[in-house]
């Protein structure tokens, strides 16, 4: 007679075998970021955050996921967790077809205060083209905001001057003015 198989839920398995939740397959957590169920997405995000550095390989896979929701949440998770391993994924995300992914990538790159160690790359050079030319006004607003948080750089002042002299979107212009106030541009600047 063949042995019978009784299915057991993952929760029962964890309880019965005293396995730590930290060994749950992180790929399942990445897939849960795309769940239509908000509590499931939130729980997956919190669990991945709690795993810290050990979740980075799975998060990097999530940055290439077919679902824009999963890519956006994966890129967003890198805001606090990103290190040098994440640079290629973040650069790639700046060109993602989804504006939401691009917005999160700009924040994850530009917000150095959230990182344990600042990322070593030309953040300003990566963000300026998005601030000037991205088709999504929301992406452009986030890019301008992040430029305002960077160390003074003449490229930032020039980009902000261009925006202030050519744009009419109130949100974009407001962010550009605020960013200018941080950069003390040279005399004669529109800032």
pLDDT tens track for 126-152: 999 999 999 999 999 999 999 999 999
Residue 64 has pLDDT above 60, yes or no: yes
**pTM higher than 0.95 for the full model?**
no
Total residues found in the chain within this entry = 191
Angle at 183 between CA 135 and CA 78, to 5 degrees: 55
Full set of structural domains in the chain with CATH? 25-117 (1.25.10.10), 122-191 (no CATH)
- Widest CA span of the chain, in angstroms? 90
Q: How far apart (Å, rounded) are the C-alpha atoms in residues 123 and 164?
A: 21
Contact 73, 61 (CB under 8 A): no
Structure tokens at 43: 């729980």
pLDDT tens track for 28-63: 999 999 999 999 999 999 999 999 999 999 999 999
């Amino acid at each position: 007679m063949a042995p019978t198989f009784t299915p057991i839920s993952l929760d029962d398995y964890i309880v019965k075998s005293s396995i730590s939740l930290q060994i749950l397959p992180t790929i399942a957590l990445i897939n849960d970021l795309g769940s239509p169920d908000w509590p499931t997405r939130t729980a997956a995000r919190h669990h991945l955050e709690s795993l810290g550095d050990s979740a980075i390989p799975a998060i990097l896979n999530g940055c290439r996921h077919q679902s824009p929701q999963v890519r956006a949440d994966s890129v967003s998770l890198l805001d606090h967790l990103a290190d040098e391993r994440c640079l290629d994924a973040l650069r790639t995300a700046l060109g993602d077809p989804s504006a939401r992914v691009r917005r999160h990538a700009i924040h994850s790159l530009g917000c150095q205060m959230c990182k344990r160690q600042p990322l070593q790359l030309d953040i300003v050079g990566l963000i300026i083209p998005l601030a000037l030319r991205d088709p999504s006004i929301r992406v452009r607003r986030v890019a301008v905001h992040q430029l305002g948080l960077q160390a003074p750089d003449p490229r930032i002042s020039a980009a902000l001057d261009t925006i202030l002299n050519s744009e009419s979107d109130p949100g974009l212009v407001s962010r550009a003015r605020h960013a200018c106030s941080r950069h003390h541009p040279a005399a004669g600047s529109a800032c």
